[in-house]
Amino acid sequence: MSKKDDCIFCKIANHEIESDYLYEDDLVCAFRDLNPQAPVHVLVVPKDHYDNIVDDVPGEVLAAMTHAVSEVARICGIKDSGFRVIANTGAAAGQTVMHLHMHVLGGSTLSEGLIPNA
Ligand code: AMP
């Protein structure tokens, strides 16, 4: 398993630091964002460290993340009402934690401007 010592999401994904988890499997986990931008704001992260979505991420990890997004939407009751999935990629795009993550935002009518760190 590839981890980065100073990475907060590596620590959360591998339970070295506990969080408010909603979903977990062998490859990924999902937990509530510390600073929610919508009634539902959950982060889906791989347990292995990748800097972002273009960091040679294996297809099975991307598939597991997509499955986790679906599970989060089901668990949070937003699967049918619509939600937004965002992966900020690079500092210029607003990525502040350099461990691949997908934001799942929903639970209200989302304005066009509701993009984390935009
Ligand atoms: P981004 O700006 O796309 O890199 O998003 C990083 C997100 O991680 C932000 O929405 C933060 O609120 C969130 N965040 C940072 N630290 C934590 C933490 N310890 N637990 C949960 N969410 C966090």
Domain spans of the chain, in order of start: 8-106
Average pLDDT, the chain: 93
> Which atom of ligand 1 is least distant from the CA of 41?
10
- Of 113, 110, 117, 109, the C-alpha closest to 43 is 117
Determine the Cα–Cα distance for residues 99 and 47; give it in Å rounded to an integer.
10
Ligand 1 centre distance from Cα of residue 97 (Å): 6
Is the overall model pTM greater than 0.85, yes or no? Answer: yes
- Give the pLDDT mean for 19-33: 98
Structure tokens at 100: 């691949």
Inter-CA distances, 42 with 1, 7, 31, 86, Å: 23, 18, 6, 11
pLDDT at 53 over 90: yes
Q: Binning pLDDT at 50, 70 and 90, where does residue 68 land?
A: very high
Determine the Cα–Cα distance for residues 108 and 48; give it in Å rounded to an integer.
32
Paired with 102 in beta bridges are 44
How confident is the model at residue 111, as a pLDDT? 66
Ligand 1 centre distance from Cα of residue 77 (Å): 22
The overall longest dimension of the chain from CA atoms, in Å, is 39
pLDDT at 114 over 90: no
pLDDT at 118 over 60: no
In terms of C-beta density within 10 A (0-12 exposed, 13-18 middle, 19 or more buried), how is residue 84 classed? Answer: middle
In terms of C-beta density within 10 A (0-12 exposed, 13-18 middle, 19 or more buried), how is residue 3 classed? Answer: middle
For the annotated catalytic residues, the residue numbers are 101
> Which atom of ligand 1 is least distant from the CA of 87?
3
CATH assignment of 8-106?
3.30.428.10
